[in-house]
Amino acid sequence: MALSKRKKRLILLLYALSAALLTTIVVVLMVVLINQQNDFRHTFISRCEGFEGYDCKKLWKVFQQAYVGKSACKVPVEAYDPLLAEAPIQPACNRMMFWSRSKQVVHDFTEKTDCFITLEDTLLGSVLDGLSWCGKENSKETFTNNCPGWDECENNPVRSFWKKASAEYAHAACGGVTAMLNGSISPPYNSSSIFASVEVPRLNSTRVNSLTVVLVTQENSVSNCTNGSFEVLQKDLDEGIKYKCKEVALSWLQKCGSKPNPTCGPCW
């Protein structure tokens, strides 16, 4: 059965249209991929340039070498050794704040008072805070979508970076250090947290003389300073580091932190 001329033309037109559509889709996908990569690079460099005295383009290169071309679950902590060697964590004695399960509250507090710093205030911590990234085998690209989640695999690029940076942050700590923990969870000191597994074991009594736990409490709090997990914390601490625990109500923290406090007098 021969097709009429009109039908043939229609079929040809449909072929041409679908080819055009396919090409458009491929081009759009490529543009999205390139933009993803450029947006991430741009964020990295522009955040980095907020700090003085660093070669941000070089840091970007060294950073990429940790994960580019690797499968997203095969980036070990050591992959970031060169990056941390290029931009070591600067110690700030008596001002270093640690946190676990209290990120928002800690940063609201430290931003307002300007008396403490957290890892996210250091160059690398600030550059990578809130970002997600990974590479792929046989690819030179940086991806920001569909990267493994924090708990999806142990050696993912984001988790390994934070473990390395946290280790260096704790290693650099000196004087009196403070840790804000969450009284609404149990146990507040959890051995599988970065704070317990990476940071506490690296506080060295030759440099750190005290650790003050600020346990932030709310109406729904379940834990206080007598919680058994704090006995584990004291065992984990290097001998010679004095330990203190203070229960501080969130409402008080917010009130105290919002007042001008030029001398950095304590809120606890």
Ligand X SMILES: *[C@@H]1O[C@H](CO)[C@@H](O)[C@H](O)[C@H]1NC(C)=O
Q: Are strands 175-182 and 208-217 parallel, antiparallel or unpaired?
A: parallel
Question: Which is nearer to ligand X, 122 or 182 (by Cβ)?
Answer: 182
- Burial string for 114-136 (b: 16+ CB within 10 Å, else e) reads ebbbbbbbbbbbbbbbeebbbbb
Catalytic residue among 56, 73, 93, 153: 93
Say how far apart CA 268 and CA 262 lie, in whole Å.
16
Say how far apart CA 120 and CA 113 lie, in whole Å.
15
Contact by Cβ (8 Å): 107, 189: no
**In angstroms, what is the minimal distance from the CB of 25 to ligand X?**
40
Say how far apart CA 150 and CA 188 lie, in whole Å.
20
- Burial string for 71-108 (b: 16+ CB within 10 Å, else e) reads ebeebebebbeebbeebebebbeebbbbbbbbeebbbe
Question: Which is nearer to ligand X, 70 or 163 (by Cβ)?
Answer: 163
Residue 151 buriedness (CB in 10 A; 0-12 / 13-18 / 19+): exposed
Question: Which is nearer to ligand X, 42 or 244 (by Cβ)?
Answer: 244
Contacts to ligand X by CB under 6 A: 101-102, 104-105, 182, 184-187, 190, 192, 204, 206, 216, 222-224, 226-229, 238, 250
**In angstroms, what is the minimal distance from the CB of 153 to ligand X?**
15
Quick check: is 153 catalytic? Answer: no
Quick check: is 93 catalytic? Answer: yes
Question: Which is nearer to ligand X, 69 or 240 (by Cβ)?
Answer: 240
**In angstroms, what is the minimal distance from the CB of 124 to ligand X?**
22
**In angstroms, what is the minimal distance from the CB of 187 to ligand X?**
4
Question: Which is nearer to ligand X, 64 or 217 (by Cβ)?
Answer: 217
Catalytic residue among 174, 225, 256, 264: 174
Nearest to 214 by CA among 230, 202, 228: 230
**In angstroms, what is the minimal distance from the CB of 184 to ligand X?**
4
Q: Which residue is nearest to ligand X (CB)?
A: 228
Q: Which residues are catalytic?
A: 93, 174
